[in-house]
Chain A
Amino acid sequence: MTTLTARLSVMQRLRTRPFLRGLVLVGPAATWLFLFLAVPLVLVLVYSFWTYRPGGIMEHTFTLENYARFLSQPVYGRILWRSFSVGLQTTVLALLLSYPTAYYLARRPSGSHLLIFLILVPFWTSYLIRIFSWMLILMERGVLNSVLLGLGIISQPVRLLFTPLAVVVGMTYSALPFMILPIYSVLKGINPDLIQAAKTLGANELQAFVEVTLPLSMPGVMAGSVMVFIQGAGNFLAPAILGGTGADLMANVIANRFIEAFNWPFGSALSMVFLVAMLVFLLLVNKWAALESIYGPKK
């Protein structure tokens, strides 16, 4: 009895003190993020201004040399551009494949739990294995070439593996659930009366879709796109395994500077450039899309 009242009083104390309550609820996760995200990030920022000495030694003297190197050697700019480009290609391809699927799932009158479950099944295997299996499909004597040869569509095996296209294809595949699910859940939440209202007012199926369904589904499209773009542009495994030498993205180059060249300061500078470029890009996209105002100004 006494322990029960004691417990209750702790809960009640939390209820009446919002700051303490917030601390208890958010504190553990915040600590985790601080230790393993904020602290390393600050370290990387600091490293990027330190001097590199051959042999992998970091000298604690301030320099802008690492950033100057990024600007003076056009290859890094090209790789940054390629990361964005591959990320965008993946996003667009995944979007084109996902929207109709999500639309179908959301409109299915008999429910779609089983189908959604099937979409999630690939997540039971590791990402590495799924990327490797794409190797088997895209290889010179792989599944795809064999089928195309067998059907007589091609006479010579086509080089698919170790191309930028292979990277986009592999990343698109693993991006689909991240695109389908947010679009599905937003489409599912659109009041079907709105579409019917558009039709009774004279809009045909396509016009009703363009006027009502599409704009109202944009929050889902944006959420999915941002997730897929970040995963794509920052991807390490897919370019490393499917891409070959000419398809390296920023993550591969950064890893290379750290692990192989032991040039931590330059690797850190590349990380910071990439991070800032991504943030600026996503902020611009967010501002352009202006999703918070599709329902007009707040009351």
Chain B
Amino acid sequence: MIDVEMRSVTKRFGPVVAVDEVSLQVRQGEFLTLLGPSGCGKTTTMRLVAGLETPTSGEILICEQCVTHLPPYYRNVSLMFQNYALFPHKNVFDNIAFGLKYRKVPGEERKQRVKESLALVHLPGMESRYPRQLSGGQQQRIALARALVVRPAVLLLDEPLSNLDLKLREKMRIELKQIQEQVGITFVFVTHDQQEALMLSDRIAVMDKGKLVQVGTPREVYERPQSRFVAEFVGQSNFLEGHIVNHCADATEVRLSSGLHLSIPASPHLTTGSKVTVQVRSERVRLFAERPLDCGHEFTAIVERVIYSGDTIQYLLQLESHDLLLATCPTTSAPPLNRGASVWVGFDSEDCLVLPGD
């Protein structure tokens, strides 16, 4: 069953096209993330589903019913706001019971459901507190409880973790995923944090300039980006520009603008001479003290810059051809190299991904 369906939805604000012909289906019980940089239209997309904006054109369906022109209070959708939007003049009980009141849930059941939802977010007995008496993390849990207690078909979450400090955010990520699995409600999660998207989602929908540019599982989006934008936005990569010079049976040869030749997995759909960008993930670039024997490509390089970040260490390397390569290595893998050191660099042909040239 499809819980949310958008059919070529467009939203314009004056001359600005915030959402451009977006078509998307969210399956029941799915955790779908809208991922993109700020201003890409992901929040507007979510607000369109909530009914806080009306599309300029296109249709929105929730649980297979057309809701395009229904106001938010007739849609079975909850929204968790980035700043939580708890009512400051109502205590926790009245905040959580708010939606139940307007769904005409009787008093006794209301109490019971508020209690259950507080247990769900691990804050039992908080009914009589006011929002200003709660910490940021607690406010966020109350906002989650308030959104879930009405048992919506879909819960929309607008960057809910971005106001928390790192440790709390990491903890809440895990908790959010657990709660979603527990209640089985469809989540549409908006974020600009690719790490968050990769960790939480069943599927990721990447947006850029109002358009949906790729929809897929985290693994698909990470390992098979369909455009330079997605490849650049998710993870850290090297992008080497060149053009196709030759096709063989099991490989394609690319000549980089620096003169370097790379052999990449066969891509017969690309004609000889066409411009391409070759993507190599920085963690796929390996360093060796001596010439490696098992790599598809190997080069000598000089360490230009060393960036230490705890679990990993990054080296910016200059090849003899003057190409720059970024390599991310686990800190434990080898003794650290210093700036200026000479080293062998290698990566496999399978680690080269061809993106259509810009």
Chain A proximity mask over B92-105: 1 for CB below 8 Å, otherwise 0: 00000011011100
Establish whether residues B98 and A193, one from each chain, have CB atoms under 8 Å apart when the complex forms. Answer: no
Which chain A residues border B129 with CB–CB below 8 Å? 296
A296→B133 contact, CB < 8 A: yes
**Given A201-B150, A215-B89, A297-B130, do A196 and B52 touch, yes or no (CB 8 Å)?**
yes
Please pick, from A199, A294, A296, A297, the residue contacting B71 in the complex, using a CB distance under 8 A.
Answer: A199
Query: Whole-angstrom distance between the alpha carbons of A212 and B83 in the complex?
Result: 16
Contacting residues, chain B, for A299 (C-beta < 8 A): 132-133
Given contacts A194-B85, A296-B133, contact A201 B52 (CB under 8 A): no
Residues on the B chain within 8 Å of A201, using CB: 73, 78, 98-99, 102, 146, 150
Find out whether the CB atom of A200 lies under 8 angstroms from the CB atom of B73.
yes
Report whether A203 and B98 are in contact in the complex, using a CB–CB cutoff of 8 Å: yes
**The one of B72, B83, B130 that contacts A200, using a Cβ cutoff of 8 Å:** B72
Interface range on chain A: under 10, 10 to 19, 20 to 34, or 35 or more?
20 to 34
Give Cα distance in the complex from A212 to B103, angstroms: 17
A204/B83 contact (C-beta < 8 A), A198-B98, A215-B89, A296-B91 known: no
Contact of B102 (CB < 8 Å), options: A191, A203, A216: A203
Task: Tell me whether A295 and B85 are in contact (CB under 8 A).
Answer: no
Q: Name the residue on B nearest A203 (C-beta).
A: B102
The 8 Å CB contact of B73, one of A199, A215, A296, is: A199
Chain A proximity of B358: nearest CB distance (Å): 37
B130 and A197 contacting across the interface, CB-CB below 8 Å: no
B51 touches A200 (CB 8 A): yes
Complex contacts, A212 vs chain B, CB 8 Å: 87
Separation in Å of the A225 CB from the closest CB of chain B? Answer: 19
Tell me, rounded to whole Å, the shortest Cβ–Cβ distance linking A293 to chain B: 9
Residue of A nearest to B77 (CB): A200
Q: Are B89 and A197 in contact (CB under 8 A)?
A: no
Contact indicator A204/B132 (Cβ below 8 Å): no
State whether the Cβ of B81 lies closer than 8 Å to any Cβ in chain A: yes
B72 and A211 contacting across the interface, CB-CB below 8 Å? no
Q: Cα distance A260–B184 when bound, in Å? A: 83
A202 in the interface (beta carbon within 8 A) = yes
In the complex, A207 has a CB within 8 A of chain B: yes
A199→B85 contact, CB < 8 A: no
Cβ 8 A contact of B72, one of A196, A296, A297: A196
CB distance from A250 to the nearest CB of B (A): 36
Distance (whole angstroms) from the CB of B7 to the closest CB of chain A: 22
The smallest C-beta distance from A198 to any residue of chain B, in angstroms, reads 7
A294: B residues at CB distance < 8 A: 88-89
In the complex, the chain B residue whose C-beta lies closest to that of A212 is B87
Evaluate contact between A197 and B88: CB separation under 8 angstroms: no
Q: Which one of A197, A295, A297 has the greatest number of beta carbons of chain B within 10 Å?
A: A197
Cβ A295 vs Cβ B89 within 8 A: yes
The answer for the CA separation of A233 and B223 in the assembled complex, in Å, is 76
Interface mask (B127-141 → A, CB under 8 Å = 1, otherwise 0): 001111100000000
Per-position binary interface string of chain A over residues 182-218, scored 1 when its CB falls under 8 Å from any chain B CB and 0 otherwise: 0000000001011011111111100100011001100
Q: Provide the residues of chain A in CB contact with B89, threshold 8 Å.
A: 215-216, 294-296
B50 within 8 A of A: yes
Residue ranges of B at the interface with A (Cβ–Cβ < 8 Å): 50-52, 71-73, 75, 77-79, 81, 83, 85, 87-89, 91, 98-99, 101-103, 129-133, 146, 150
